[in-house]
Chain A
Amino acid sequence: MTIQFNDETFRDDYSFSNSQRAKDRFPFPFHEDSYMYSINMEQHQGGPADSIYEKRFDVDEHYIAEMRDRALVLADDPLRCQSLPHMTLAGWDLLELIMISKSEDYPELFELHRDGSKWHWINKPMGIEDHFVFMDETTLPYGPMEYITRQTQGDFCVLDQREDNLWMDAGMVTTQADWSLDFDIGMNFFEWHAPVPLAHEKGIFKRALKFLLSIQQGAPARRLNWTMTVNPLLDTSPENYHKWGVQKNSLTPENLGSKQHLRVELQTFFRLPRSNGLVFPIRCYLMSFQDIMSKPKWGRRLHRVVRDLPEELATYKGFIDKRPMMLDFLAQYDDGLPTSFGVWPDDHSEPSLQK
């Protein structure tokens, strides 16, 4: 299908919006009426047609605007993109993975022509065309990881694997849910997850690490994670907390439906062939509460999940103070009817709101 790219912003006037198609394919993360951590991994081998799971790297209507926002973040703070010296090979792995995937999955948007190590890359939506020599950094305007992730939606953690652990040794992180690459760079899997409540006690990280270490070439995996964001803001970084933290106080019962967004991350995991590293793309999807309420099943369920979420999690996800106001809004869309199992909206079978 042809994608109409939005001319929109994720800052200042927040002109971001979701089309009907974007609403229909939003990755609502709750498969039942309550939420607790789980590893919830599955194979990343396609998915229903036109869903965000269908392609290896989903390209949607927000592509151009997200890349513009990334460039602004990097101009203000170059440390959002870092790669330790031993990670260059993994950067080439990532560039190759994305160029091959995008040119095969979206041939009308991206082209890759290879003649040995002479590569020719065309990115039509962004108007980029470059000839370069694969594995020769001097032939690209940036390092390989930075070059390709300036053209790909989502944050990217490029992890080195050694000593039976994963190490955050490179990344492009500009659309993060309140964590900092500059702080985490060089940390291992347990170190960078240290702030997460409850999950350590449940042994979740040990099991998750074991799973990730065994991810094989050609067998990527995926999971969803979520949090809450006031205003459609991509860059909710600790570095800029002074700018966005205060915006939480702009919520009122009247504007909550349009300002409060559910932020969902599609996290995928690919083994990188040459470096034996792992890339962990974290793709952010935003949808306002108001738009979520257009799906009766999601409206009922979101109310129940937010209401029953353990206090530690609501605190960690940064919305404990605003939870009462959220619940006042969400309760209007919960008529107490049961919901069907699974994440899909089931627009045609779920009853409309009975009140």
Chain B
Amino acid sequence: MTAPAPNSTAPKSIGAEKIKVIVSAIVPLNNLVTRFEFKRIDGYQFPTFSGGAHTVVEMQDGDLKRSNPYSLMSDPAETETYAISVRRDDQGRGGSLFLHQKVQVGATMTLSSPVNLFSLDLRARKHLFVAGGIGITPFMAQIKQLDAVHGNWELHYSCRSPELGSYVDELCAKHAHSVNIYYDDKKQSIDLENLLDGQPIGTHLYVCGPKGMIDWVRRSAASAGWPDAHVHHEEFLAPQPGKPFAVRLAKSGLSVEVGEHESLLEAIERLGVEPPYLCRGGACGQCETDVLESEGIFIHRDHWLEDDEKSSGIKIMPCVSRFDGKILVLDR
């Protein structure tokens, strides 16, 4: 291969394929959150992306291959470096612990091309952002995107304490008039009712944070009469550990035991079967799978299936949902 031209983008045959990267910096922000920065190994530039996009990070943790989605929080126009910020989850299955404890500068990793399931509505006259904790990350990129075109935005960011307020200093220094910070430990909270009441026509509302916050903001907006199409949220679920269970894949004629710290999707992939996915967090719907036979209880955790689909027992989202029972046969 000849050396790429300095301004060249990706190779022509890039596909939705994976991007090999090297970890170029690891920056601890506080006790819980660390930023990871990546450079491409092949010398090409990263694709630009749109604020709110995520990348799926592949991690080889011993025998386990984990693939977790993280919001890209670097400047979308920046093509030398991608960055994500990861909150350590001591109770999780270990993806964030792997990043925090085992990954070092210089390590090689694999990223997916950016995918955006939390896009800005570019028609908005104003963008109103509500963030909780690590939910700040997609807004970091969206703010950079909007700033480049002098967009109209306002952020309300709730953190547990000043010590855990990732990027609070940076945001306040650059955007004193657009950023509002609330600390739980100082009993500060967003006055949502007034906030929603005072917005100009044409405002779009975006929320990213813990499930409780998302539900609260969406419910409040609905009861204040906001149109659904003006309220956007992103909540990727991390797959939760659970009791191991067995699954048979009818099309491929294979069987596998899903381990305690493994998702059903990861177990299927371990067999070499590759269902499509974009988010791996129960939101995008790509990995939806038909259930051919079952005897037991489904543990549905996704945001994709309708309630009647969940109770019918004929579909499952293998990225985040599990099963407790004797027989599970999938159309894969």
Residues of A within 8 A of B76 (CB): 273-274
Do A276 and B116 have beta carbons less than 8 Å apart? Answer: yes
Contact with A along B79-122 (1 / 0, CB 8 A): 00000000000000000000000000000000001111001111
Interface membership of B53, Cβ < 8 A = yes
Residues of A within 8 A of B52 (CB): 276
Interface residues of B in 43-89 (CB under 8 A from A): 47-50, 52-53, 76-77
Residues of A within 8 A of B50 (CB): 273-276
Residues of B within 8 A of A155 (CB): none
Cα(A217)–Cα(B9), bound, Å: 13
Cα(A134)–Cα(B225), bound, Å: 40
Residues of A within 8 A of B49 (CB): 217, 273-274
Interface membership of B171, Cβ < 8 A = no
Do B15 and A219 have beta carbons less than 8 Å apart? Answer: yes
Residues of A within 8 A of B176 (CB): none
Partner of B48, one of A46, A56, A104, A273: A273
Do B278 and A163 have beta carbons less than 8 Å apart? Answer: no
Residues of A within 8 A of B286 (CB): 214
How many residues on the A side are at the interface (Cβ–Cβ under 8 A)? 28
- Which residue, A43, A56, A210, A217, has most C-beta atoms of chain B within 10 A? A217
Do B113 and A163 have beta carbons less than 8 Å apart? Answer: no
Cα(A321)–Cα(B164), bound, Å: 74
Partner of A86, one of B12, B113, B122: B122
Contact with B along A82-96 (1 / 0, CB 8 A): 000111010000000
Do A114 and B278 have beta carbons less than 8 Å apart? Answer: no
Interface membership of B329, Cβ < 8 A = no
- Which residue, A46, A163, A219, A276, has most C-beta atoms of chain B within 10 A? A276
Residues of B within 8 A of A56 (CB): 12
Contact with B along A208-225 (1 / 0, CB 8 A): 001000101111000000
Do B229 and A162 have beta carbons less than 8 Å apart? Answer: yes
* Closest chain A CB from B218 CB (angstroms): 15
Do B123 and A216 have beta carbons less than 8 Å apart? Answer: no
* Closest chain A CB from B145 CB (angstroms): 8
By beta carbon, the residue of chain A nearest B13 is A45
Residues of B within 8 A of A163 (CB): 229
Knowing A214-B278, A273-B49, say if A86 contacts B123 (CB, 8 Å).
yes
Interface membership of B10, Cβ < 8 A = yes
Interface membership of B27, Cβ < 8 A = no
* Closest chain B CB from A165 CB (angstroms): 10
Do A217 and B122 have beta carbons less than 8 Å apart? Answer: no
Cα(A93)–Cα(B229), bound, Å: 24
Knowing A45-B13, A104-B12, say if A218 contacts B116 (CB, 8 Å).
no
Residues of B within 8 A of A89 (CB): 122, 149
Residues of B within 8 A of A161 (CB): 119
Do A219 and B53 have beta carbons less than 8 Å apart? Answer: no
Interface membership of A235, Cβ < 8 A = no
Do B122 and A273 have beta carbons less than 8 Å apart? Answer: no
Interface membership of A100, Cβ < 8 A = yes
Do A218 and B15 have beta carbons less than 8 Å apart? Answer: yes
Q: Which residues of A contact B (CB under 8 A)?
A: 43, 45-46, 56, 85-87, 89, 100, 104-105, 113-114, 135, 160-163, 210, 214, 216-219, 273-276
Question: 19 interchain pairs (CB within 8 A)?
Answer: A46-B13, A85-B123, A86-B122, A89-B122, A160-B123, A162-B229, A216-B16, A216-B115, A217-B16, A217-B113, A217-B114, A218-B16, A218-B17, A219-B16, A273-B49, A273-B50, A274-B76, A275-B122, A276-B52
Known contacts A217-B114, A276-B119; 8 additional CB pairs below 8 A are A46-B12, A217-B16, A218-B10, A218-B14, A219-B16, A273-B49, A274-B50, A274-B76
